Amino acid sequence: MRQYFGTDGVRGRVGEFPMTPDFAMKLGWAAGKVLGAEGIKEVLIGKDTRASGYMLESALEAGFSAAGVNVALVGPLPTPGVAYLTSTFRADAGVVISASHNPFDDNGIKIFGQGGYKLTDVQEQEIENKLHIALEGGMECVSSEALGKARRVEDAAGRYIEYCKAVLPSTLSLSGLKIVVDSANGAGYRVAPAVYRELGAEVVSIHDQPSGVNINANCGATSMRSLCTAVLEHEADLGIALDGDADRLMMVDHTGAVVDGDELLFLLAKDAKAAGYTGGIVGTQMSNLGLEQALTAIDVPFVRAKVGDRYVMEQLKSTGWRLGGEGSGHLLTLDHASTGDAVIASLRVLTSLLNQGTTLYMAKQGMNKLPQVLVNVRFKAGKNEDPLDSETVQQAVTEAEDKLATNGRVLLRKSGTEPLIRVMVEASDAQLAKWCAQHIADALPSL
């Protein structure tokens, strides 16, 4: 069992273990040792706009250097941008310092392998094994002549911008579109508005003034109200919201309604099928049942992976399919990117709209989302008993499923980043979904 790596790298509150300079240095050393044994010589390090990124960047740099691995620093850049540059610079690995959609006082460390793909569970376990040695005082520095060197990459953002722009076919232009872009005061605050603007759109950019402490603060893909308001105020054609590290995409249509990851995935699937795509779609356990029903209606196969875009990626690799994602906005379009990329996914959506000569509002028709209720129950981490094994809980789940029959579903899962049990219920009737979710939550032992 991995102790530190969750569904999206190592994450925690800054200043508290494991998000300390000492831990970050030892993690860098452990990753350098494990990946170095696989032949890596250089790692690319990027970050979002959190103030703590400077501290963790320096610590990671020291750890990799001590392991004999060179470091290339790209500064603030979206997570998918780091993945892309890891591949194009032919770096052997990439690291992103970001807690994605979390508040500024959290931070995290994600590691990519060769080609910009996230590490496997096996690789992460090997790094943890080496990390335990370092934490117990067994970290050994290579000789002075073998120390890794550090360099700063010039114009990393510009290279990524050009890569994104190439996703829109040369026969198309965003000219005539007014787009509101919410960058969440995060890693995409420069590159995202620049991409749409350079492709011809009139861009209204909001939440693009990072202070180091305002990332994701009432903005971005996890807080859509201000973008919905701005789209209406500016009479825009649509709105685009990123999260703190710009790997999640949410959109807003011209009516001010939010279009989430499930709806965008349906839109992309429908467009891909019309263009001859014969594969299927990978969602997750949390994907709305309405997505599955809509894909079935257009004869597109659908499977569910565990929650987390890394598991969606694993399922895509095993099936050979090219499209997948999560309702939260992680969208994988493997013909264009090796990881979830909000900017590239949005350009795929815009390409579809332009080709069809339609609006986002019209394009999402055909999928009816079922009401979905999510209740989080906090439990005491470290208990020997698994709350999900409780007979009381299992009975409550059975009672809820009996009421739902074939018109809904129940999902219980533990969070990969917090001591939370997430109770999710979908039903054709919103009140029934709410009752079932609360009935199960009340049966769970909580703090």
Please name the amino acid found at residue 78.
P
Question: What does the alpha-carbon distance between residue 310 and residue 258 come to, in Å, rounded to a whole number?
Answer: 25
Question: What does the alpha-carbon distance between residue 346 and residue 192 come to, in Å, rounded to a whole number?
Answer: 10
CA triplet 336, 339, 345: central angle to 5 degrees?
55
Query: Quick one: which of 372, 421, 355, 354 has its CA closest to 393?
Result: 421
**Residue 247 annotated in ligand binding:** yes
CA 121 to chain centre: 17
Query: In the numeric block, which tokens belong to residue 280?
Result: 């299927």
Question: What does the alpha-carbon distance between residue 250 and residue 167 come to, in Å, rounded to a whole number?
Answer: 18
Contact (Cβ atoms closer than 8 angstroms) between residue 70 and residue 150: yes
Contact (Cβ atoms closer than 8 angstroms) between residue 437 and residue 372: no
Contact (Cβ atoms closer than 8 angstroms) between residue 410 and residue 374: no
Q: Quote the DSSP letter at residue 136.
A: I
Question: What does the alpha-carbon distance between residue 300 and residue 208 come to, in Å, rounded to a whole number?
Answer: 38
Q: Is the peptide bond before 193 cis (omega within 30 degrees of 0)?
A: no
Question: What does the alpha-carbon distance between residue 221 and residue 214 come to, in Å, rounded to a whole number?
Answer: 14
Question: What does the alpha-carbon distance between residue 70 and residue 7 come to, in Å, rounded to a whole number?
Answer: 27
Q: Could you give the C-alpha distances from 298 to 280, 282, 409, in angstroms and in order?
A: 11, 15, 22
Please name the amino acid found at residue 436.
C
**Residue 48 annotated in ligand binding:** no
**Residue 243 annotated in ligand binding:** yes
Query: In the numeric block, which tokens belong to residue 49?
Result: 């706009």
**Residue 65 annotated in ligand binding:** no
Q: Is the peptide bond before 387 cis (omega within 30 degrees of 0)?
A: no
CA 109 to chain centre: 13
Cite the active site residues. Answer: 100
**Residues of each annotated binding site for Mg(2+):** 100, 243, 245, 247
Q: Which residues are annotated as a binding site?
A: 100, 243, 245, 247
